Amino acid sequence: MKAWQLERLGGALTLQERPIPEPGPGAVVVRMQASSLMSYMQDYVAGDLPNYRVPDSAFVPGGNGTGVIHAVGEGVWHLHPGQRVVTSSHFVANENVREPAQVLLGITALAPPAERVQAHWPDGTLCDYALLPASVATPAEGLDAVDPVRLAVTTRFVVPYGGLLRGRLAAGETVVVSGATGAYGSAAVLLALAMGAGRVVAVGRNRQALDALVAAAGERVVAVSVAGDAQADAQAIRDAAGGGAQLAFDMVGGAHDPNLTLAALRSLSRGGRLVLMGSMRVPLPIPYAEMMLNDWELLGQFMYPRDAYRRVLDLVRAGLLDLNSIRARTYALPELPAAMAAAASAGNLDCVVMTHGA
């Protein structure tokens, strides 16, 4: 099979011939059809991103995707060859312990204890046949009309689904999405509507991207273009939310100041919840008295629970989540360098997808 192999972060990335893997206990081999590409893949490969832990030897990078089960190992009870699946990069060790190790397959180990897990499962999906833990493959029954490229776009939704689930989004609620002009932020807006939000306030700095998002999402979305003044921005968001939101979802990436996150917090009505799923390069100053007096709730969330992919697919099956809202830009597997450059500059409603020819 063909497989991209990364020597190390900052090292050589080359297309190799490898044998098709054999599944061990608890494993599946998936014949990949399409895999979504991270927007930051180019910087990741170059070693320009901090805090990523990768295997000690060369490995196959790549995150989520879709394909067909090729083979299963012992102890795999529900998956079978020929079955169509979506695959997740988020793997959590299944021992019954207080804090099981987590890895993003083909991307990073999340803490030193997870490095042993990563050593056992080093590879991702940028290959024709991916060897994966059975628990990260979700059957995609009832979606035969959805082609593999379009199905791979579900990757964009499963991450914010974890955050909206954590925030206990209820039908009819008003949701503020901060960082709505990013890839996952835009998906969060569309997903909140699919999950029943009555109104979504899309917050960001890029007016053009906000306008495109409103055009795609419809009249239940109100856009607020912010300027970085936490007090003025909070008031503008509150006004757009009709006096305050029940839930705010922060997906700002690599923030250099806390102002937008604080504006989202202060846009909440009494008893509101703020979910943090983005990233920030400076500390977040928590306004202790305001938090207490307003009964606000602050929730951190990393990735999503194991059943999240199945539940996102349920929304697609029900016709509540339109995957066509995200434009897929396709590249064949050998075109990975060009695809990484395209992903780095892709718009908020674009998703670069690799197609596999095996």
First to last CA, the chain: 7
- Alpha helices in 267-323, H assignment, sequence order: 288-293, 308-317
Element housing 70 (H / E): strand 65-72
Looking only at the bridges linking them, the beta strands covering 221-225 and 199-204 are: parallel
CB contact set of 109 (below 8 Å; sequence gap of 6+): 53, 54, 101, 103, 115, 117, 118
Q: Are 128 and 2 in contact (CB under 8 A)?
A: yes
- Return the residue matching tokens 């960001």: 204
Over residues 288-337, the pLDDT tens digits come to 999 999 999 999 999 999 999 999 999 999 999 999 999 999 999 999 99
Query: What amino acid occupies position 24?
Result: G
Over residues 16-37, the pLDDT tens digits come to 999 999 999 999 999 999 999 9
Residue 50 has a pLDDT of: 85
Helix, strand, coil fractions of the chain, as percent rounded to 5? 30, 30, 40
CB contact set of 258 (below 8 Å; sequence gap of 6+): 230, 280, 282, 283, 284, 285
Over residues 201-242, the pLDDT tens digits come to 999 999 999 999 999 999 999 999 999 898 999 999 999 999
Over residues 131-188, the pLDDT tens digits come to 999 999 999 999 999 999 999 999 999 999 999 999 999 999 999 999 999 999 999 9
- SS3 at position 106: coil
Average pLDDT, the chain: 96
The HSE-up count of residue 240 (CA atoms within 13 Å, CB side) is 26
Residue of 7, 30, 20, 44 lying closest to 81 (CA atoms): 30
The C-alpha atoms of residue 205 and residue 228 are separated, in whole angstroms, by 8
- Return the residue matching tokens 């349920």: 314
- Whether the per-residue pLDDT at 51 is higher than 90: the answer is no
Residue 358 — very low, low, confident or very high, per pLDDT cuts 50/70/90?
low
Q: Are 338 and 160 in contact (CB under 8 A)?
A: no
- 219 by Cβ neighbours in 10 Å (0-12 / 13-18 / 19+) ranks as exposed
Looking only at the bridges linking them, the beta strands covering 350-355 and 27-36 are: antiparallel
Residue 113 — very low, low, confident or very high, per pLDDT cuts 50/70/90?
confident
The HSE-up count of residue 99 (CA atoms within 13 Å, CB side) is 5
Residue 93 has a pLDDT of: 95
- Whether the per-residue pLDDT at 119 is higher than 60: the answer is yes
The C-alpha atoms of residue 340 and residue 349 are separated, in whole angstroms, by 16
- Whether the per-residue pLDDT at 62 is higher than 80: the answer is yes
Q: Provide mean pLDDT across the span 43-68.
A: 95
